[in-house]
């Protein structure tokens, strides 16, 4: 485990540079969103009182998720949290402040990483140096093995070219006894793959927490994008607006029957990962003996 008395994250080798063009669409989204408050207003309208405005994440992050992640991480002050696929950093920075821990975040988008770096003082004040952000991919973090006491990954795994490889890489970075807390989703009829991925990464499934409100949140957001299409074009530009509207058109039909969960994986403190029984909250609308639940794709 890392030294809890350290005041800043440990140094890491330079992260591999993502392939040219892979970050372009995310760079464009984050740059466009920074020019207007329209996107944040639509997220807030879709989520209502559950929207954590300070975090301003481009994800399904809401107040219930922040509270659940805080409980599942079980972190001691001063330890190191890694925010994998951090976007503009709000989730990791909020957790770093709430849990009094150090933070290393990484994202595919250099634009998002620059914005996250600029946000540090707002959350951490004079302690901003205890958080750092870097450009890296989920499959190639460039972080030292076993450096992280905990990892969060919110709505980012869907961007990975190889989800299994990404889970293995995050498992490599996780210290013995540490936890990886990540959002996952399934379309109706898809077989969950997370337990097999966890075993391959040397991790065990500790908790599977259902998020029954997540599909409805995405549905409201996508419908708002469609209603405000002209404003999106005017505020964000035709290219970015069309990208968002295309996502809404493609994703809306997949939401009925979607199952969303918060998955907590743990690296055993000693010895190889063995079989473990997950602590599962009941999945709404399903009974024992029902068939497979639902393929995974993370929205914007």
Reply yes or no on whether the pLDDT at 270 is more than 80: no
Reply yes or no on whether the pLDDT at 298 is more than 80: no
- Count other Cβ atoms within 10 Å, centred on residue 16: 13
Looking at residue 5, its pLDDT comes to: 37
- The mean predicted confidence, pLDDT, of the chain is 86
Q: Which of 72, 109, 77, 70 is closest to 92 using CA atoms?
A: 70
**What is the pTM (predicted TM-score) of this model?**
0.84
244/226 Cα distance (integer angstroms): 9
Strands 174-186 and 259-266: antiparallel
Reply yes or no on whether the pLDDT at 33 is more than 80: yes
List pLDDT tens digits, range 233-244: 999 999 999 999
Q: What angle do CA 34, 107, 296 make, to 5 degrees?
A: 100
Confidence of residue 17 (pLDDT cuts 50, 70, 90): low
291/251 Cα distance (integer angstroms): 23
- Joined together, the tokens standing for residue 147 give 């450096």
Percent of the chain surpassing pLDDT 70: 83
Reply yes or no on whether the pLDDT at 10 is more than 50: no
């Amino acid at each position: 485990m890392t030294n809890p008395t350290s005041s800043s994250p440990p140094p890491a080798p330079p992260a591999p540079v993502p392939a040219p063009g892979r970050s372009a669409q995310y760079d464009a989204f984050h740059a466009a969103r920074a020019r207007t408050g329209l996107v944040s207003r639509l997220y807030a309208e879709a989520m209502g009182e559950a929207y954590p405005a300070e975090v301003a994440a481009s994800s399904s992050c809401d107040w219930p998720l922040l509270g659940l992640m805080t409980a599942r991480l079980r972190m001691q002050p001063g330890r190191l949290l890694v925010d994998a696929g951090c976007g503009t950093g709000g989730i990791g920075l909020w957790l770093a402040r709430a849990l009094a821990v150090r933070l290393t975040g990484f994202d595919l988008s250099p634009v998002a990483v620059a914005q996250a770096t600029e946000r540090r003082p707002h959350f951490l004040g004079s302690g901003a140096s205890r958080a750092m952000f870097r450009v890296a991919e989920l499959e190639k973090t460039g972080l030292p093995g076993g450096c992280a006491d905990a990892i969060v990954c919110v709505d980012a795994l869907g961007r990975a070219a190889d989800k299994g490889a990404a889970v293995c890489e995050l498992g490599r970075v996780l210290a013995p006894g540490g936890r990886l807390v990540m959002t996952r989703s399934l379309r109706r009829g898809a077989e969950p793959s997370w337990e097999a991925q966890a075993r391959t990464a040397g991790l065990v499934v500790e908790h599977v927490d259902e998020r029954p409100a997540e599909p409805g949140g995405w549905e409201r957001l996508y419908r708002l994008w469609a209603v405000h299409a002209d404003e999106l074009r005017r505020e964000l530009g035709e290219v970015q607006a069309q990208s968002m509207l295309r996502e809404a058109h493609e994703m809306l039909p997949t939401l009925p029957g979607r199952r969303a969960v918060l998955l907590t994986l743990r690296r055993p403190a000693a010895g190889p990962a063995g079989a473990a029984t997950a602590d599962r909250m009941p999945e709404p609308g399903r009974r024992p003996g029902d068939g497979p639940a639902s393929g995974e794709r993370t929205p914007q």
